[in-house]
Amino acid sequence: MTDRAPTDWRTDAMRRRIVRRYGAERRFRMFGLGAIILSAGFLAFLIVTMVMQGAAGFTETRVSLPIDFAAAELTVTPEQLRGDRGNLALAGAGLEGVVDGAAGAAFAQQGGAELLSDGAWLRVRDTLKANPGMLRGRTAIDVPVATDIDVAYKGDGTPEAEQVVAALGDRLSRGLNRDFFGNADATDPTRVGIWGALKGSLLTMFVTLILAFPIGVLSALYLEEYAPKNRWTDLIEVSINNLAAVPSIIFGLLGLAVFLGTFGLPRSAPIVGGLTLALMTMPVIVIAGRNAIKAVPPSIRDAALGIGASPVQVVFHHVLPLALPGILTGTIIGMARALGETAPLLMIGMRAFIAAPPEGLTDPATVLPVQIFLWSDEVARGFVEKTSAAIIVLLVFLLAMNGVAIYLRNRFETRW
Closest distance of CB 310 from another protein, Å:
5
The contact set with another protein (CB under 8 A) reads 228-229, 297, 299-310, 313, 317-318, 322, 414-416
Instruction: Give me the torsion for CA of 92, 93, 97, 99, rounded to 10°.
Output: -110
DSSP 3-state assignment of 264?
coil
Cα 287–289–291 angle (5° rounding)?
70
What secondary structure does DSSP assign to 367-399, as a single string?
-HHHHHHHHHT--STHHHHHHHHHHHHHHHHHH
User: Which CB sits closer to another protein, 7 or 414?
Assistant: 414
Chain-centre distance of CA 94, in angstroms?
38
Contact status, residue 349 vs residue 261, Cβ threshold 8 Å = no
Q: Which of 300/380 has CB closer to another protein?
A: 300
The CB-of-406 to another protein minimum distance in angstroms stands at: 20
Whichever of 304 and 394 has its CB closer to another protein, that residue is 304
Helices (H), 295-367: 298-306, 311-313, 320-339, 343-347
CB of 295 to another protein, least distance (A): 13
Distances, alpha carbon 370 to alpha carbons 133, 385, 389, in Å: 44, 16, 14
C-alpha distances (whole Å) from 105 to each of 23, 97, 302 are 79, 12, 86
C-beta of 303 vs 399, nearer to another protein:
303
Burial (CB < 10 A; 0-12, 13-18, 19+), residue 37, is exposed
Q: What residue ranges in 249-325 does DSSP mark as E strands?
A: none
Q: Which is nearer to another protein, 282 or 320 (CB)?
A: 320
Q: How far is the CB of 327 from another protein (least distance, A)?
A: 16
Count of H helices and E strands in the chain?
17, 3
Whichever of 65 and 304 has its CB closer to another protein, that residue is: 304
- Measured from the CB of residue 334, what is the shortest distance to another protein in angstroms? 26
CB of 320 to another protein, least distance (A): 13
Least separation in angstroms between CB 300 and another protein: 6
Alpha-carbon torsion, ordered 96, 97, 98, 99, to 10 deg: 50
Measured from the CB of residue 322, what is the shortest distance to another protein in angstroms?
7
| Alpha-carbon torsion angle 237, 238, 240, 244, nearest 10 | 140
Q: Indicate the residue among 155 and 228 with the shorter CB distance to another protein.
A: 228
Nearer to another protein among residue 265 and residue 305 (C-beta):
305
